[in-house]
Structure 1
Amino acid sequence: MAAYEISIRNCNSIDLAAIRIEKGSLNIKYGPNGIGKSTIARAIVSQARGDGTLDALIPFKNRGKAGSKKPQVDGIDDVKSALVFDEEYVNQFAFQQDEVVKNSFNIFVKTPEYVTTMAEIEDLFTGIRKAFADSVEIEQTTKDLKELREAFGNSKTGAIPKNSKIHKAFGTGNKIENVPDSLKSFETFIKSPEPSKWISWQIKGNEFLKLGDTCPYCSTGLPEGPQKETALAVAKEYDATAIGHLNVLKAIIGRLGKYFSDKCRENLEKVTTAKIELTAQEQGFLSGLKTDTDALIEKLEGLRTISFFTLRDVGEIGEKIGQLKIDLAMMDKLDSVETRKVTDPINAQLEELIEKVGVLKGSVNKHKARIEKAIKENQTSINSFLKSAGYKYWVAIIPEPDSYKMKLIHNDLNEHVESAAKHLSYGEKNAFALVLFMYQVLSENPDIVVLDDPISSFDKNKKFAILHELFQGKGSLRGRTTIMLTHDIEPAIDVIKSTSDVFKGSSPSAAFLSSRDGKVNEVPIQRGDIQTFTKICRENIAKLADPIVKAIYLRRHYEISDDVGLEYNLLASLFKKRATPTVKTITENRDMSAEEKGKAQESIRVYIADFDYDDLVKQLNNVAAMKAKFLRTDVGYEKIQLFRIVREHDDDIITKFINESYHIENEYVMQLNPHKFESVPEYVIDECTKLLTSA
């Protein structure tokens, strides 16, 4: 199978990393923290997307220096898209306020087949869409009708409420058209284009009349009497807000005038210019106008927004579409020549759609069935995973007015969980987000998928459940070019050895990453490389030459085999550099007898033929020779063990750290041979070297 030979240069702490990625496979890259795995992920994704973010990885040592080398990624020129799972993905895309993952509709429902079918359905509505588009006035007319409807207010009985805008404007008579005789001197202002502004200004000034006999508007004398009463009368007769409503409504009615029937216009003229409070008949007329207005808006909006979404829950589509026909005979107050110019073309297109209703019904129902199937499959898969992983949550894909959204529901709650991120634990969020990410990959189909340390924080059972969900079966990442960067060896153990048959469909490969002097190297991990540490110890004892290094592995062999008899005690004494070996158990702590020493030494020679305790103690006490041995080996694990022997009694922090961290090297039953796979971080080796060479 073809592979990408990727080279990454000058990115953060990486001077050069050479990475091989098998196409269409799961590529596990395992290595300790601190070697630049996240940098590798960011570099590959930045190069694939070509979004200009690669330059952000320039090493600190190169920043601000003229002519310094820029970040560079080679070997993936044909890769144009990438998706990456990391902490940023969890924070930015998963667990939104009102849906489980951002754009859940696009991920779980909007498949290529969905888009094609929607286009076919929308094509049936082309005529109606065109009828609306060809009527340049219909948008403004609909807007005016809605504003007029709002002015009528809401009432269960159908009567015009007294707190409605139209009642406030006309309910007690039109005092703009019918200025009271006492205020004729203000008629020019009251009948101005925006009388509410003048009235508001005039009323605000009234509070200053009580300060004296001078007009607050013109500073002329204003003695008590008719003049002052006239100034105050404006506030008694007029309400600025009501006048504002009246002015707006007059403008709306003026724009809508041509859409009213002749009789309706006559009646509106009477109502809007009346001197006195509206009669019951006039109020009844307004109620009827409101009913017709509501009906026309409902028809226009229903036709304008007709789509798959408005019909998906309709039992009988033909009946629903027939109800959308605009019958102006039933809305006589809006039955005019101009109204028919708007509605007739729409009705004509509706008739054509009614002729195709059989096709439309079939398309909508088939589309619904496909969507329901997709939803059911996605929900079932995710919910099965959540259940198998022991999470008390489930998901449901819910219809929205023009979309679908995936919601999170707790087993103990009958409604979806708002702000899921606040309720899920760190582990729950990561596990769940990984599965959601998988579906996003299936939806967007990127050229390459990067998983940056995705499952290290989970226990063994959940790790396997997540790996199984991600890479086993048709609806998974199987067959996609995927890079999993991890500091956890367990995924490699699972997919390469322990349960390899389960994951063979993903054609998995694994490699061990190590870093020295800014260069990241990878060593392929084969099935045979994953061994018990007992086997590793025996293998190294058999093939290595140095008896001290061989003794290091033999002591570990006895330790992990729980064989801590005379042989183990002799080797423990050796590394303590004791001239006389000791026996230390739970019940005793004494010198080893000569006979015991001889017996133990003979047993050890089965593994190390030239083992001589006294000679090796002398070597271990020769600090210069031990430092030379330390510098000679290139194997980090062996350097650490030699360092511990030389610096046995030091009290510095690095020595304590090494003694704690590398005494029991690996918690797994299966692991990699530290003689072949460089598992010790570079900074630890550097610190050990510095301490030894400076002593």
Structure 2
Amino acid sequence: MADYEITIENCNSIDTANIGVEKGCLNIKFGPNGLGKSTIAKAIVSQARDDGTLAELVPFKSRGKTGAPQPKVDGIGDISSALVFDEAYVNLFAFQQDEVVKNSFDIFIKTPEYDTAMADIEKLFYGIKKAFADRPEIEQTTKDLKDLRDAFGKPNKDGSIAKSSKVLKAFGSGNKIDNIPDELLPFEMFVKSANPSKWIGWQIKGKEFLELGDTCPYCATALPEPEQKETALAVAKEYDATAINHLNNLKEVIERLGKYFSDGCQENLDKVTKSKTELTAPQKTFLSDLKNSIEALIQQLDGLRTISFFSLRDVDEIDKKMPLLKIDLGMIDKLDSEQTRAVIDPINTQLDKLIEQVGNLKGQINKHKAKIKKTIEENQDSINGFLKSAGYKYSVKIISEPDSYKMKLIHEDLSEFVDSASAHLSYGEKNAFALVLFMHQVISEDPDIVILDDPISSFDKNKKFAILHQLFRGKGSLRDRTTLMLTHDIEPAIDVVKSMAHKFQDPKPSATFLSCRQGKVKETFITSGDIRTFAKICKDVLSENIDDVIKAIYLRRHYEILDNVGLEYNLLASLLHGRAVPNLKAENRDMTTQEKAAAETEIKTLIPSFDYDALVQQIGDAKVMKAKFLGTDVGYEKIQLFRIIKGQHQDDIISKFINESYHIENEYVMQLNPHKFESVPEYVVEECSKLLQDA
């Protein structure tokens, strides 16, 4: 009995499904397409997460019907979290614009050990962080300082303030809000309003209409005197709405910052901002110096506010760096005021305390860096080793970001990182990458169950095993995790149960075959003995108590696989084609009596009751053959009998399936016994049954 006996009911096309899952190991569920494997995955995940999505799996036949059975999942026990690898994972999480996988930092670096080390380092910064927290006004002050700094814009090459800057646009030609020209004094209440730029803009818009005549374009009042019209036009000559807007905004910022300027600075700033005329060269120099002082204070405040492991990560000599973080108002004397010192002194005091512990800080940061470096190397080596063994020309590199780490993609023919990886990788490459990245996410998040929904069917044989090995045998793999792999590809089962079983032990994986009939999914365990060459399967079936026509089907297949297409093969082929006189197809002639007898004698060593003439009569009798069809429950045998009866199906797709089951072109060397494992899809058998019933 499995650790989890999971029952799924009324989910999409599944009426009932009974699935066993062993805890702490790989559980492979192999079955044909269309069986409902993805539904099984969704049902288990929905129940584990308890997120309400199970209701989305209501079968179509039950939708809109009162009292209809609802989706139900039992038996998951203590499973309460799940991660699923499917196409949605590849599209949603893997191959982001600027990193290989979404949240690569959380997946590859941010372990519990990492968090503990970061918390210990953050404790050392507590005093400085608290000094900022105790003065909440620092945030607004810093914002105002940045607004004032930004108003200076990009300087000229000689370092002087550009004429296009907000500062010079606002004050460069004098403060025309405080110093209104005499002819515009009638508009004083508007110029000195809370939002003068809006009024000025409105006034200027009427200028072109004022030039049409001697009537006010706003109130239609006559303007008989030239002076009246000139007064109205003077607003556009004296004022620029944008410049006035800058002036008004900067005045407000400067007023809020006033207490942080030194007395001398405040006095000079008043002269500049209230000047009636164009600024002088010394005044512009003063503004440039003020901008530099503001920039210096902002940089130091930001540096201390954001002090962290990341800000010191790339500093070689932390003990020499720390004293340089101290804010010396004597060097930025334009901001050396009593109020500024009230803010800065507590921060400097806490910095002094941190400097006293600089040895401890340096040690913890270096230790943490070493652990991160080791983690990065291990993850890179793991992924790159897989990529190399699987034959991919890509590798990954985890690089440091200002406050994080990101995984980047590299191609061996390109010197720089590959951005938008999904645009360059093939479908198979994306899936392979995504699977390995998914494995690392599982290790990071540690869910109760991992579900792989048909993960490797699209790969060639070598890459399939490389991925399987990486997922369940590599260092830091999913080996000891409860993993459910749903697939229509038998090769994973062959690898872990038979051909490479010695590599997949401790814990030993389990493999089962899923089949579905009339909405009921059941599973059959696959053992090493169940995986055999089809030649061996055919020989084994011949010893069972089944109909001789069915035995002839298996024996013909046996000879074909061995490329033994002599008399015996031709006799069986003629039989299954209903030829009264057997022939040799390659020679385009009938068999002689002696050849027929010799072939029969050889066949009787394997099918003792074989009688060509008696069996060919049965094959020619539609009722007898239909009875044989109905008499077997094995889908493989049904479609072979159907082929004998009907030759081909009217549906080309079903005909192709039947023909490829009859011949060997698309078969694996190793496979399951179709007499035991119901590998033929139910719909194919049903279509064949319908045609025979209608006959």
Please name the residue that 2:31 is paired with: 31
Please name the residue that 1:455 is paired with: 456
Q: 1:179 to 1:653 in 2, by over 3 A?
A: closer
Is it true that 1:537 corresponds to 2:560 in the alignment? Answer: no
1:538 & 1:220 partners in 2: Cα distance? 113
1:690 & 1:564 partners in 2: Cα distance? 34
1:624 & 1:208 partners in 2: Cα distance? 102
Please name the residue that 2:158 is paired with: 157
* Cα pair 2:125 2:308 within 8 Å, conserved: yes
In structure 2, give the amino acid aligned to 1:564: V
Please name the residue that 2:615 is paired with: 616
Is it true that 1:435 corresponds to 2:436 in the alignment? Answer: yes
* Cα pair 1:552 1:641 within 8 Å, conserved: yes
2:358 & 2:68 partners in 1: Cα distance? 69
1:55 & 1:679 partners in 2: Cα distance? 30
Q: What is the aligned-residue identity percentage?
A: 69
Is it true that 1:137 corresponds to 2:176 in the alignment? Answer: no
2:206 & 2:559 partners in 1: Cα distance? 102
1:520 match: secondary structure: strand
Correspondence 1:255-404 to 2 at 5 A: 255-404=256-405
Please name the residue that 2:693 is paired with: 693
1:298 & 1:9 partners in 2: Cα distance? 63
2:442 & 2:653 partners in 1: Cα distance? 44
Q: 1:383 to 1:654 in 2, by over 3 A?
A: closer
* Cα pair 2:322 2:355 within 8 Å, conserved: yes
* Cα pair 2:570 2:583 within 8 Å, conserved: yes
1:7 match: secondary structure: strand
Q: CA deviation at 1:610?
A: 1.3
Higher alpha-carbon deviation: 165-174 or 679-688: 165-174
Higher alpha-carbon deviation: 482-491 or 171-180: 171-180
Please name the residue that 1:677 is paired with: 677
Q: 1:148 to 1:655 in 2, by over 3 A?
A: closer
In structure 2, give the amino acid aligned to 1:489: I
Correspondence 1:154-193 to 2 at 5 A: 154-155=154-155, 156-193=157-194
1:289 & 1:324 partners in 2: Cα distance? 21
2:319 & 2:537 partners in 1: Cα distance? 76
Aligned length: 693
Q: Deviation digits for residues 20-79 of structure 1, max 9, x if unmatched?
A: 111111111111111111111111111111111111111111111110111111111310
Please name the residue that 1:63 is paired with: 63
* Cα pair 1:449 1:480 within 8 Å, conserved: yes
Please name the residue that 2:520 is paired with: 519
Q: CA deviation at 1:658?
A: 4.5
Q: 1:649 to 1:5 in 2, by over 3 A?
A: closer
Higher alpha-carbon deviation: 291-300 or 173-182: 173-182
1:182 match: secondary structure: helix
* Cα pair 1:5 1:18 within 8 Å, conserved: yes
1:410 & 1:55 partners in 2: Cα distance? 44
Gaps of 5+ in 2: none
2:46 & 2:638 partners in 1: Cα distance? 37
In structure 2, give the amino acid aligned to 1:450: I
* Cα pair 1:472 1:506 within 8 Å, conserved: no
* Cα pair 1:214 1:221 within 8 Å, conserved: yes
1:84 match: secondary structure: strand
Please name the residue that 1:234 is paired with: 235
Please name the residue that 2:598 is paired with: 599
1:47 & 1:338 partners in 2: Cα distance? 60
1:582 & 1:508 partners in 2: Cα distance? 49
* Cα pair 2:25 2:480 within 8 Å, conserved: yes
1:218 & 1:622 partners in 2: Cα distance? 108
In structure 2, give the amino acid aligned to 1:423: H
Higher alpha-carbon deviation: 131-140 or 405-414: 405-414
* Cα pair 1:471 1:506 within 8 Å, conserved: no
Q: CA deviation at 1:213?
A: 0.8
* Cα pair 2:557 2:662 within 8 Å, conserved: no
Higher alpha-carbon deviation: 205-214 or 434-443: 205-214
Please name the residue that 2:107 is paired with: 107
Q: Deviation digits for residues 255-298 of structure 1, max 9, x if unmatched?
A: 11111111111111111111222122212221221111111111
Q: CA deviation at 1:319?
A: 2.2
In structure 1, give the amino acid aligned to 2:144: D
Higher alpha-carbon deviation: 398-407 or 98-107: 398-407
* Cα pair 2:539 2:555 within 8 Å, conserved: yes
Please name the residue that 1:471 is paired with: 472
1:541 & 1:615 partners in 2: Cα distance? 18
Please name the residue that 2:41 is paired with: 41
Q: Deviation digits for residues 367-398 of structure 1, max 9, x if unmatched?
A: 11111111111111111211222222111112
Q: 1:649 to 1:182 in 2, by over 3 A?
A: closer
Q: Deviation digits for residues 139-196 of structure 1, max 9, x if unmatched?
A: 1100100011011222253322221111111112112222222222222322223222
Higher alpha-carbon deviation: 276-285 or 122-131: 276-285
1:651 & 1:407 partners in 2: Cα distance? 53
2:482 & 2:650 partners in 1: Cα distance? 49
Correspondence 1:192-271 to 2 at 5 A: 192-223=193-224, 225-271=226-272
Q: Deviation digits for residues 394-429 of structure 1, max 9, x if unmatched?
A: 111121121111111222222222211111111111
In structure 2, give the amino acid aligned to 1:629: K
Please name the residue that 1:632 is paired with: 631
2:692 match: secondary structure: helix
TM-score (normalizing by structure 2):
0.97
Q: CA deviation at 1:468?
A: 1.1
Q: Deviation digits for residues 639-681 of structure 1, max 9, x if unmatched?
A: 1111111113776647733442311355211111110011111
Please name the residue that 2:8 is paired with: 8
1:654 & 1:467 partners in 2: Cα distance? 32
TM-score (normalizing by structure 1):
0.97
Q: Deviation digits for residues 556-595 of structure 1, max 9, x if unmatched?
A: 111111111111111111112222222222xx12221222
Q: 1:577 to 1:217 in 2, by over 3 A?
A: closer
1:414 match: secondary structure: coil
* TM-align CA RMSD: 1.5
In structure 1, give the amino acid aligned to 2:517: R
2:206 match: secondary structure: helix
1:25 & 1:216 partners in 2: Cα distance? 86
2:20 & 2:152 partners in 1: Cα distance? 72
2:382 & 2:193 partners in 1: Cα distance? 69
In structure 2, give the amino acid aligned to 1:447: D
Please name the residue that 1:553 is paired with: 554
1:404 match: secondary structure: strand
Please name the residue that 1:496 is paired with: 497
1:18 & 1:226 partners in 2: Cα distance? 98
Q: Deviation digits for residues 66-114 of structure 1, max 9, x if unmatched?
A: 1011111111131011011111111111111111111111001101111
Q: 1:180 to 1:516 in 2, by over 3 A?
A: same
* Cα pair 1:544 1:550 within 8 Å, conserved: no
1:543 match: secondary structure: coil
* Cα pair 1:640 1:658 within 8 Å, conserved: no
1:211 match: secondary structure: coil
2:370 & 2:68 partners in 1: Cα distance? 59
1:662 match: secondary structure: helix
